[in-house]
Amino acid sequence: MAWNEYILKCFAWQRMEKAKWEHTRLIAFESKVGSHLDPKTLPRSIEDYLPLEGRKSKTKSIEHQQAMEALRRERAESKARIEQLKKEQ
C-alpha cells in the first residue's frame, strides 16, 4: 500500500469511527432526555451532553491577545502615516 493510500484509509477510518460515536451519542442523549428526569438538570444540546471534538476554548491566551493588540496598533499607525502623507501632497 502506498503512503497516500494509507493516509486515505486513516481518514476513512476516523470518519467511520466518528459516525459510530455520533450514533451512540444520539441514542444515549435521546434516552436521557426522554426519561422522567427534571428538565433543568438535562444538557441543553447533544454537544453539551457529549462533545466529540473536544471542548473549544472561547478564551484567548494572553500571548494571543498581546499579539493582536500589537497588530492593531501597527495598522492604526500605518493608516495614520498614509493619511498624513496624503494631506502633505
> Which pLDDT value is given to residue 55?
62
**8 Å CB contact between 46 and 25:** yes
Which is nearest to 51 in space by CA: 15, 16, 21?
21
Query: For 65-88, what is each residue's pLDDT tens digit?
Result: 888 899 999 999 998 999 888 888
The sign of the CA dihedral 10, 14, 17, 23 is: negative
Residues 53, 55, 61, 65, CA torsion sign: positive
In degrees and rounded to multiples of 5, residue 79 shows phi and psi of: -65, -40
User: Is the pLDDT reported for residue 14 higher than 90?
Assistant: yes
